[in-house]
Amino acid sequence: MRGVQLSFPFRRKSQKRSQVGLDLIGRSYAEDDYVTVTVIGICQNNEGRVLVRRRTGDPFSMPVWLMRAIFREEKRKMGTRA
């Protein structure tokens, strides 16, 4: 019986993928003194989520796509006020 070596196609993490939420770090969303949320980092185990912190409270994670949508909406609202 001959031995057969199996090789699995492992994907390498691309540099683009690992940088997916870096531009959000430090950005804040504030809604009339009701809530202020600041992006403080990227989740280590899931790069598709960012760590956010309210003004008071522990950090929690949110999807990157949702934070982008919030910031895009905020920018749109600011544009219509001017």
Q: Taking the chain (82 residues) in consecutive chunks of 10 residues, what is each chunk's mean pLDDT?
A: 63 58 86 81 89 86 90 72 48
Tell me, what's the pLDDT at 50? 92
Closest by Cα among 13, 68, 23, 69 to 45: 13
Domain, as residue range, for 75: 17-81
Tell me, what's the pLDDT at 82? 46
Query: Does 40 fall in a domain?
Result: yes
Query: Does 74 fall in a domain?
Result: yes
Supply the pTM of this predicted model: 0.63
Query: Does 47 fall in a domain?
Result: yes
Query: Does 7 fall in a domain?
Result: no
Query: Does 5 fall in a domain?
Result: no
Tell me, what's the pLDDT at 10? 63
Domain count, the chain: 1
Query: Does 39 fall in a domain?
Result: yes
**Dihedral sign from CA coordinates of 71, 76, 80, 82:** positive
Query: Does 67 fall in a domain?
Result: yes
